Amino acid sequence: MVNDKNLHERNIVNSGRFTPAKNSIKDIVKEFNFWCGKVYPGIKKTKKLALAFDVFKEYCVSGAWVNNYFYYEFYNKDRTERNKYLTWRKAIRLIIETNGRKASSMFIEKNTFNITFSNYIKRDWLFMKDATEDEFIEFCSKHETFIQKPQDERNGNGVIKVSINSTGGGYLSILCR
């Protein structure tokens, strides 16, 4: 995760990746393996299989996504403790209950939030899925360094700091595809 004391001065690029509901099995396994390696380096296959089953069960029961499971350390908690946490599914339900189904997308999708509250967001931002190459080049000409945030990731996952000078011009064409 990128930490910055001057949040209003950060420049954000949303790369438009994926939501948990749209993830492929390959993406889920990749995220599970990442977290498993971080929490249990050198884990045995039998323990890893049991952990995978618990992650899947927790997703079915509470809607905890893989990163919720590990971030909240559910592997160390019983059902009573796990129920106290705001998981991905519970958060989405809360947003919908509070704002109605139609208005909820502005709080769930980063680009919709940025468009809705553009008068109050004190930084430049660009949604790469809808941006043209010219718009991206113009953004980069104003901001030599910026933060790239995946559209549908949470908890700082996938956030990277990009410096145009260190990545070269090839980065521009890759992001604009």
- Say whether pLDDT at 6 is over 50: no
Q: How confident is the model at residue 58 (pLDDT cuts 50, 70, 90)?
A: very high
pLDDT, tens digit, 9 for 90 and up, residues 133-148: 899 888 888 888 888 8
Identify which has the larger pLDDT, 94 or 174: 94
d(CA 32, CA 24): 12
79 shares a domain with 54:
yes
127 shares a domain with 162:
yes
d(CA 171, CA 163): 10
> For position 170, what pLDDT does the model report?
53
Domain that holds residue 47: 20-90
Determine phi and psi for 157, rounding to 5 degrees.
-65, 135
> Which range, 82-86, 114-118, 144-148, 173-177, is most confident?
82-86
13 shares a domain with 27:
no
* Domain total in the chain: 2
In a domain, 53, yes or no: yes
36 shares a domain with 14:
no
DSSP string of the chain? ----S-GGG--EEE-----GGG--HHHHHHHHHHHHHHHSTT--HHHHHHHHHHHHHHHHHH---HHHHHHTTGGG--HHHHTTS--HHHHHHHHHHHH-HHHHHHHHSHHHHHHHTTTT--S-EEETTT--HHHHHHHHHH-SEEEEE-TT--TTTT-EEEEHHHH-THHHHHHT-
- Among the candidates 43, 62, 90, a domain finishes at 90
166 shares a domain with 115:
yes
In a domain, 3, yes or no: no
In a domain, 2, yes or no: no
- Say whether pLDDT at 152 is over 80: no
Full 3-state SS string of 141-175: HHCCEEEEECCCCCCCCCCEEEEHHHHCCHHHHHH
pTM over 0.85: no
112 shares a domain with 170:
yes
In a domain, 97, yes or no: no
pLDDT, tens digit, 9 for 90 and up, residues 88-129: 889 888 988 998 888 887 887 778 888 888 899 888 888 888
